[in-house]
Structures are given as structure tokens and as C-alpha cells.
Amino acid sequence: MLISMRDVSRRYDDWPALKALDLEIEPGEFLVVSGPSGAGKTTLLRLIWMGDLPSTGVVEVAGFRSDRMRRKDYPELRRKLGIVFQDFRLLQERTVYDNVALPLQVAGTSPKAVRRRVFSLLAEMELSHRRGSRPHELSGGEQQRVAIARAMVAHPVILLADEPTGNLDPEVSKRVIDLLLAINRAGTAVILATHDPRQVPAGTARYLYLDRGCLVAPGSWEGFSTT
Amino acid sequence: MTHLILTALREACLNIRGKLASFLVTILMVSLSFMVFDIFIAVSWNLESALREEQQSVGIEVFLQDGVTEVQAIALADIISGMDGVRSVYRVSSEEAEAFFRADLPEQADLLTLMGPDFALPASIQISLHPEYRSSEKVAPIARTLSGMAGVVDVVYGEEYLPGLTRAVDILGRLVLLAGLVLAVSISLVVANTVRLAVAEKSLTVEIMSIVGAPAWFVRLPFLGEGIVTGLSGAAGSLLLTGLVSALLASTVSHGFLPGRWIAGVLLLGAATGALGSWIGMRSGIPRPRS
């Protein structure tokens, strides 16, 4: 089991963001988490990358348990994850190359190996010609591809994508989803939080629906398409 | 690990380069704060040097009774030179005492003539003490022992001023320590505030570093480096400014600038306050997982 959540709840002050959630995710799975704003999608992802810890219950991710985390465990866990956000969160003062290289640099990878990996990934993402650009010089789609490249550069076992197409037009959104599917086909588990699950073609993913912190409809794409 | 450390140092340089103007203003603020301290310790050091010089001359003079023969005086000097704390003894005969008097106070030399040919200044033994015995607490017991010896008529060791001198040197040392502590706290707060602002300014970088798996020390090192560089540069700047003031005053006020040991101390204090400030700033600035 790659990720397991047992009776997990998360409260922010008096507001219950997630309630008694049980969830298991297998290696290589593509999971689409859907629901309206405030349903708990982002909270679920934050609990997986342990930006937040559960108020009750236990989250276990790639062998790291939320109730046994030591300070030095957080970097180790996060090197197994790649995270993509709706607002890209690229460092504006750095070039595309430096943004993508960051996860390898903070892991102490040699500059030569960093260069080799970043160049190859930028080529794969069709961003080679943009490697010296600053994020603000790129289009939204390009910025999101840079963010995905940064998330994938260290070969994570899980890619978390929090509304990655939220700021993109439909055509660019489709390219981003195709990219996530390709990443998944290569063996990386992908967890996509989105308000529109129909972006992911039927039969390619497992679907969860969250509403007010509760898991209400674990099911299939068809379930969404008929609503 | 080497690559990681080099990358962390590169991050520190990026941090500083990204806000060079505000960094320089902070260094100026720290320099001016440290300058007050430098001037205080320079004055203290000069005063303490003067006091210590005075303390160096602390010794005991043992006046011998009339009729003590030279053989007895030599025997007494031998006994005294074997006592704890005594570095050297010098025997002054009656004739030598008269010669010293005439040389030191030539305008009063007539007094000796007026006293008549039978008058003689008393012979004495001048005692030099080891430095650690030049305080009032250490000298007094030696003086008491000497007073009780046969052939001794009087013992003089500056009992009127020595306790005050010892106390003054002691108080000055404590004042320097206290001022150093007060300054270390205040500079730490200035640096802490600067680092807190730097962390806030770099919150996205800090967040992304943490998300991509940077170790905690890697995230903190650039800010720690920035704090240490700020403190160290501020201290160095203050020494330059104080040196300038010292040079300007050299012709009007006789004084010495701080010795190398004290300069090293100021630089060390600067680095330490910078590190402390960074630590305080990072504690409240860098987010941790919320439980």
C-alpha cells in the first residue's frame, strides 16, 4: 500500500475540513479527487505531503506514519513526492532551469547529474528553449509544465496535483491532463484534486467525491458523467 | 553533502544579493549600535590600563628599626624573599635612602641638613610582588606578617588607595561585561527582526524548499549565514568607525585603541549576536507542519 488513511479527521479551529476518512491508494494508481470548493480536497493532499498532520487518525505515506514523524523524516518523505499547485508556485527570481533543478540541488545531487536530468526533462516537456526564461515570461500552460517538471525531476513515487488546470484554458488543460496521464503510465501514482473530474478520461482513473469533508461517492467516471 | 553545502551557500548569496540595499542599511544600523559599545570599551580599556599600571606598582616597603645591622637586614631580606607572593626584594641602606631622597625631592634636601649630622633616614626593604598578589586582599596578610617580624618598625603598602583601586578595576570589568550582554541582546533583536523580514520576503522560497524535500538545516542555513554576516560586518564596520574617531582624537586626547584581543572579541560578539538574531527570527518565521 502506497498511501493509507485510517479514520482521518482534520479540523482547523472549529471547522472540520475532513471527517473520518478511510482511504487506500496503490502504487501506480491514478486517483481523481473531486468535489466543490471547501470539500477538503486540498486538505487531503496536505495530509498526504504532511504539510498538515491529522487531528485524529493516522496517515501513512510510502512508509512514513503521521504519528511517528520526526523532524528529519519530512524531507525524506517529500523527496518521494512531487507536488503541483494551481498557482504554479514557481520562484520568480529564478530561471526555468533553476526552478526545475531545485529538488535535485536540495538533495545534494552533483551539478553534472542535475544538468543531465534537467536538460532531458525540459526536452521531454518541450521546454528546452525556455530554460533561461523567468516564470513571468512564460504562458500559463508553460508555467504549469515547468511546475510539473519540477515535481517530476527527482523521480517521485507519487505526484500530487492540486487543481493544476484551475488557471488554464481548456486546450492547455487537456495538455496538462495528458501529461499527468503519461506520467502515471510511466509508473508514478498520481493524485489529482479537481473540481471537474470529467477532464480525466473514463477508465484511466479511480474517482473519489468529497463533500464537506466526507467521502460521499467512491466510484467511476460514469457516476460523474451522469450527474 | 559538499554539493548541498555549496548550494546552501549559493542560496545565502542569492538572499543577500536580492536585497542588497536593505542589507547594507541593516549593517549600518548594527555598526552604529556596536560603535557605542566600541567607544565604551575603548574608554574602559584605557581606564583599566591606567588602573592596572597603577596596580603594577603596588609593592611593600618595610622600614627597619635603627640599629639593625647590615647582616640582620640581609637575613631579614632572605626570609622575606622566601615568602609566598614575593617576587623580589631590594635592600635600601640608610645612605641609599638619603641619596634617593635628594634625587627625588631636591628642593627639600635642606631638611636633611637641618636635622643635623646624627639624623639618618631609616634603612628599608622594598618588596616587589607577583601580579596575582597585587590586590588589597592579598597584600594585607603579607603586610601583617612583615609587621610582626623582629627589626621591623613600619610597613607601608598603599593601604589607603589599594582597596579602592582593586574595586575600581573589578567594577570596570563587570561594566564591560554587562554592556556587552545588553548590546548582544539589543543587536540580536535588530538582526532577528531583519531575518524575520527576510524569511517573510522569502516565504515562497522557504515553502517550496520545504515541499521539495530540503533538509531543515538547508532551509535555515542561508538565513543563519545572513545573520552571521550581518553581525560580523556590523561589528567590523563599528571598529572602523571607532578607529576613525580614535584617530581624529589622537592629537587632543592621549589614548590607545583597542588591542587585538578585544577587537577579536568584538568581531566574535558580532557573529554570535547575528547567529542568535537569525535563530530568533527563524523560530517565528519558518513554518512547521501544523498538528
What pLDDT was estimated at residue A217?
64
What pLDDT was estimated at residue B289?
60
Q: Which of B212, B213, B289 sits opposite A52 (nearest CB)?
A: B289
**Phi, psi of B131, deg, nearest 5:** -50, -40
Specify the higher pLDDT residue, B169 or A80: A80
Question: What Å distances lie between residue B83 and A55, B88, B139, B141, B252, CA to CA?
Answer: 76, 10, 12, 11, 46
What pLDDT was estimated at residue B286?
67
Question: What Å distances lie between residue A49 and A14, A34, B121, B126, CA to CA?
Answer: 23, 18, 95, 82
What pLDDT was estimated at residue B112?
80
With contacts defined as CB-CB under 8 Å, which chain A residues touch B18? 93
Rg of chain B (C-alpha set) = 31
Q: Residue B120 class from Cβ within 10 Å (0-12 exposed, 13-18 middle, 19+ buried)?
A: middle
**Phi, psi of B62, deg, nearest 5:** -105, 115
Query: Predicted confidence band at B222 (pLDDT cuts at 50, 70, 90)?
Result: confident
Single-letter residue type at B131: P
Cβ–Cβ under 8 Å, residues A122 and A98: no
Chain mean pLDDT for chain A: 90
What pLDDT was estimated at residue B162?
67
CA distance A46 to A185: 24
Query: Predicted confidence band at B132 (pLDDT cuts at 50, 70, 90)?
Result: confident
What pLDDT was estimated at residue A171?
86
Query: Predicted confidence band at B178 (pLDDT cuts at 50, 70, 90)?
Result: confident
Q: Is residue A225's pLDDT more than 90?
A: no
Task: State pLDDT tens for residues A152-163.
Answer: 999 999 999 999
Q: Is residue A227's pLDDT more than 50?
A: no
Contact criterion met (CB < 8 Å) for B211 and A83: yes
Least-confidence region, from A100-109, A216-225, B122-131, B261-270: A216-225
ipTM for the complex? 0.85
Q: Take residue B92 and report the three cell numbers written for it.
A: 635600601
Cβ–Cβ under 8 Å, residues A20 and A57: yes
Query: Predicted confidence band at B7 (pLDDT cuts at 50, 70, 90)?
Result: confident
Single-letter residue type at B152: V
What pLDDT was estimated at residue A226?
42
| Chain B residue at shortest CA distance from A55 | B291
Task: State pLDDT tens for residues A116-139.
Answer: 999 999 998 889 999 999 999 999
| Chain A residue at shortest CA distance from B211 | A78
Residue B57's CB is within 10 A of a number of other CB atoms, namely: 9
Cβ–Cβ under 8 Å, residues B61 and B126: yes
**B-interface mutation test, from A105, A114, A162, most B Cβ less than 10 A away:** A105
Shortest distance between the Cα of A163 and any Cα of chain B, in A, equals: 17
CA distance A79 to A106: 10
Q: Is residue B252's pLDDT more than 90?
A: no
What pLDDT was estimated at residue A185?
93
User: CA B70, B72, B75, B77 torsion: positive or negative?
Assistant: negative
Specify the higher pLDDT residue, B26 or A181: A181
The pTM (predicted TM-score) of the whole model is 0.67
What pLDDT was estimated at residue A222?
56
Contact criterion met (CB < 8 Å) for B213 and A79: yes
